[in-house]
Structure 1
Amino acid sequence: MRELRRHWTPTAVVFLVLAVAGLVGTWTFNALAIVQMRDFIGDLVSSGPAVSSITVDLLIVAIAGSIFIIVEARRLGMRFAWLYIVLSGITAFAFTFPLFLAMRQRRLTARAAGSAAEPR
C-alpha cells in the first residue's frame, strides 16, 4: 500500500480532485443537454457573442494544453499521452488535462525519488 501512495504528492492530489470536478461538472450539463435533446454544437456557436467568446477561449486553451501534453509526455517518457487527448473528446478537457497534470506530477516525483536514491 505504501508503494501505491508514495508518489501522490499534495499537488498531484489537487490536480486529481480538479479532474474529478471537471468530469462531474461537465457531464452534469452534458446529461442535461442529452435529456433536453439539445443541439450541443449549435448551442455552443449560436447562443450569442458571450458563449462564442467562451467557446473560442476554451478551444484555444484545449489546443495549447493538448500540445503541452504531447511535448511534456515525450520529455518525461510517459506513454499513451494521446489517450488524454482522445478522452477529452469523449469526456471533457476539464477532466483529462488535470488528470494528465496529476500523472505528470507523480512521474516527476518518482524521477526525483529515483535520482535521489542513485549513488554518486
Structure 2
Amino acid sequence: MSRFRGNWSAAAVLYLVLAIVGLVGTWTFNITSIVEKRDFLGEWFGSGPSVNSLGVDLAVVAVAAIVFMVAEARRLRLRGIVVYIVLVPVVALAFAFPLFLCARERHLTRQRAAER
C-alpha cells in the first residue's frame, strides 16, 4: 500500500477508519440499549438460535483476535497490549481489533523506515 506522512501507511489509515466505524456502529446500539433499559446480555444470548449463533461466532473471533494481538505484540515488542484486550469486552471487538491493527501497521512502517 502507498505511504502517507510519517508512519501512517494506507493500511494504518484504513484500520483506523474501520475502528471508528466499529466504535460508532456498536455504541449507537449500545447507547440505545442503555437508554431503553434493555437486558443487553439476555437479548444477546436469549433471542433464539440465530442470535446465539452470532454470539458464539463473535466470541470465537474475539478469542482468536486476542490471541493474535498478544502474539503479535510480543513478536513486535509492542507496548500497551493490555489496553487493546480490555477494549474488546468494554467497548467492542469491532473497535479494538482494527485499532490494534492500526497501531501494528504504524509500528511496522516505523521499523521498515528505520531499516532503510
Superposed pair shares fold, TM > 0.5: yes
Scaled by the length of structure 2, the TM-score of the pair is 0.94
What is the distance in 2 between the residues matched to 1:88 and 1:67?
A: 12
Equivalent position amino acid for 1:46 in 2: G
User: Over aligned residue pairs, what C-alpha RMSD do you find?
Assistant: 0.7
What is the distance in 2 between the residues matched to 1:88 and 1:23?
A: 11
Scaled by the length of structure 1, the TM-score of the pair is 0.91
What is the distance in 1 between the residues matched to 2:85 and 2:43?
A: 23
User: Percent of pairs identical after alignment?
Assistant: 52
What is the distance in 2 between the residues matched to 1:75 and 1:114?
A: 17
Equivalent position amino acid for 1:58 in 2: L
Equivalences, count: 112
What is the distance in 2 between the residues matched to 1:99 and 1:45?
A: 27
Task: Give how far 1:89 is off.
Answer: 1.8
Equivalent position amino acid for 2:57 in 1: D
What is the distance in 1 between the residues matched to 2:53 and 2:74?
A: 32
Match of 1:12 in 2: 12
Alignment of 1:77-96 (within 5 A): 77-96=77-96
Question: Which structure: larger Rg?
Answer: 1
What is the distance in 1 between the residues matched to 2:100 and 2:70?
A: 10
Matched position secondary structure for 1:85: helix
Match of 1:106 in 2: 106
Gapped regions of structure 1 (runs ≥ 5) = none
Task: Give how far 1:99 is off.
Answer: 0.2
